[in-house]
Amino acid sequence: MVHAVEVDSLVKRFGEILAIDGLNFRVEEGRIYGLIGPNGAGKTTALRIISTLILPTAGSATVFSHNVIREASEVRKLISYLPEEAGAYKNLSGYEYLQFMGKFNSDDKRDLKAMVEDAAAISGLDERLRDRVKTYSKGMKRRLLVARALMHKPKLAVLDEPTSGLDVLHAFHVRGIIKQYVEKHDVTVLLSSHNMLEVEYLCDQVALINKGKIVAEGAPAELKAMYKASNLEQVFAEVAGLA
């Protein structure tokens, strides 16, 4: 079986700081897989390595069998990466921003038009797409950015804290975008979050990370049953020795 992502004994050091300490996990194609844990657990570092943005200290990672170090250019053709603190050009309208970003993925005018129309529908921003991005709330910007990340139907969408800082309504919309898009298209999603209740709703499989290590992995329902917990926060507290 070819997995969307395979991570083996992954280690990353920043000087004396051990950010990732031997991660191992697999992401099945067409699934939503979540890396869950507190801030500083190593989630973002893992996503950045998989997205070819930084090099690991040791271990390996592949995306659809392409090594993220030796075949980085091939990996970049297959993925879309949305950082937690991503921004958009504030003086462009929403439509102009989507058109500008779409040109990085297609030179064909018909493909670009279809891509932008798809992104507009994903965002749910309707007429506000005609307004400049600088007039958007944080939630509106995040919806625009998630639409940008999904618009060209990447084989793997890597989303770092996709609903970070959003209010309930915008977070609900973004979660719905991700779940519906995976169901409709041949897209795999790898995301990080410190919101365990949210990920419990969204993800097919999760890995709970603490201090750079995976402390538990499985389907949310399986983990709750295994630890006799009512939610993933309780599971994490138990396996991390916080309970």
CATH number of 183's domain: 3.40.50.300
Which residues, 6+ apart, have CB-to-CB distance to 135 below 8 Å? Answer: none
Query: What's the domain range around 140?
Result: 5-239
- Work out the average pLDDT over 82-88: 87
Provide the number of structural domains found in the chain: 1
pLDDT of 82 strictly over 90? yes
Q: Average the pLDDT over each of 78-82, 95-99, 112-116, 193-197 and give the range with the smallest value.
A: 193-197
- Taking the C-alpha atoms of residue 153 and residue 118, their distance in angstroms, rounded to an integer, is 10
Q: What is the pLDDT of residue 197?
A: 79
Evaluate whether 216 touches 240 at the Cβ level (below 8 Å).
no
Name the β-bridge partners of 215. none
pLDDT in tens, 175-217: 888 988 888 888 999 999 888 878 888 999 999 999 999 999 9
The predicted-structure confidence for 31-42, as pLDDT tens digits, reads as follows 999 999 888 889
For the segment 122-136, the average pLDDT, to the nearest whole number, is 93
Residue type, position 150, single letter: L
The vertex-69 CA angle with 26 and 5, nearest 5°, equals: 15
Torsion-angle region of 175 (φ positive above 0: left; ψ -120 to 50: alpha; else: beta): alpha
pLDDT digits (tens, 9 = 90+) for 165-177: 788 888 888 888 8
* Run of H or E residues at 207: strand 205-210
Quote the pTM value. Answer: 0.91
Least reliable range by pLDDT among 17-31, 47-61, 152-166: 152-166
243: pLDDT strictly greater than 70: no
Residue 66: its pLDDT value, please?
97
